[in-house]
């Protein structure tokens, strides 16, 4: 598996609302066209209304690369950039340190 967490800081609440609209569109396309994307969870950040966090899990690095190369993802990246003041990507290593029984 290959996983990452991405934080997006939107300019303001109006930008966050548009970001959420774009996210809803791309998530639908991911679910329909990316069998190697195992988890694609999106969240607002408590106490920071314009911030968003994505948690992404892929079958492997090749599935992640297929995701990045997909036209729907490229359109999402292009459309979201003007809405943001910052982005932070953290690639995760290994499996879960603690698992649920």
pLDDT, tens digit, 9 for 90 and up, residues 72-94? 999 999 999 999 999 999 999 87
The answer to whether residue 100 is domain-embedded is no
Distance CA 86, CA 60 (A): 27
34-73 residue pLDDT tens: 999 999 999 999 999 999 999 999 999 999 999 999 999 9
pTM equals 0.90
Domain of 19, CATH number, reads 3.30.70.100
Count of structural domains within the chain:
1
The answer to whether residue 37 is domain-embedded is yes
Task: Find the domain containing 15 and state its range.
Answer: 2-92
Identify any residues that bridge with 54 across adjacent strands, giving them in sequence order. 6, 42
Residue 100 pLDDT grade (very low, low, confident, very high; cuts 50, 70, 90)? low
Tokens at 57, concatenated: 């899990």
The answer to whether residue 101 is domain-embedded is no
The answer to whether residue 98 is domain-embedded is no
| Per-residue pLDDT, 96 | 66
The answer to whether residue 99 is domain-embedded is no
User: Which alpha helices (H) appear in 38-86, and where do they start and end?
Assistant: 61-69, 71-80
Distance CA 96, CA 89 (A): 18
The answer to whether residue 97 is domain-embedded is no
3-31 residue pLDDT tens: 999 999 999 999 999 999 999 999 999 99
């Amino acid at each position: 598996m290959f996983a990452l967490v991405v934080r997006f800081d939107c300019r303001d609440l109006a930008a966050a609302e548009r970001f959420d609209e774009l996210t809803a569109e791309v998530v639908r396309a991911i679910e329909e066209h990316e069998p190697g994307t195992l988890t694609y969870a999106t969240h607002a950040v408590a106490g920071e209304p314009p911030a968003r966090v994505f948690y992404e899990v892929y079958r492997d690095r090749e599935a992640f690369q297929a995701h990045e190369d997909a036209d729907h993802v490229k359109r999402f990246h292009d459309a979201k950039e003007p809405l943001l003041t910052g982005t932070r990507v953290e690639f995760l290593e290994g499996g879960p340190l603690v698992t649920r029984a």
